[in-house]
Amino acid sequence: MNCCEKNIDTEQLARFAKAMGHPTRIEILCYLASLDSCFFGDIHNELPIAKATVSQHLKELKDAGLIQGEIETPKVRYCINKENWEKAQQYFNGFFETKKEKVGCCAS
């Protein structure tokens, strides 16, 4: 499905937006974006929240495709999913660039 005549998958954009809709998830994404990869423990040490809460936030980000995890028994290494990261950037940029020159009833 196109959004405002842009090549935007609106369902995927909504998944990205929902996953990014929590401040802790934004912090996790910022942290991971500053590194090539890191282990769960590194993320947990960076955030002042319970391990179970960190796990839930990581699951939401992973389910949306923004991050990926690789099991290195007994640890899990996380990193940004670069392909979807770029897709999210493209979709959000396209979405916010949809402003029309002639604005409807809200024009002043």
Please report, for the chain, the start and end positions of each structural domain, with discontinuous segments joined by +: 10-91
- Pick among 1.10.10.10, 3.50.50.60, 3.90.550.10, 3.30.200.20: CATH of 10-91: 1.10.10.10
Q: Taking the alpha carbons of 29, 34, 40, 41 in that order, is the dihedral positive or negative? A: negative
- Specify the pLDDT at position 1: 46
Q: How confident is the model at residue 8 (pLDDT cuts 50, 70, 90)?
A: confident
Q: How confident is the model at residue 101 (pLDDT cuts 50, 70, 90)?
A: low
Angle at Cα 89 formed by Cα 85 and Cα 93, nearest 5°?
Answer: 170
pLDDT in tens, 63-72: 999 999 999 8
pLDDT in tens, 31-69: 999 999 999 999 999 998 999 999 999 999 999 999 999
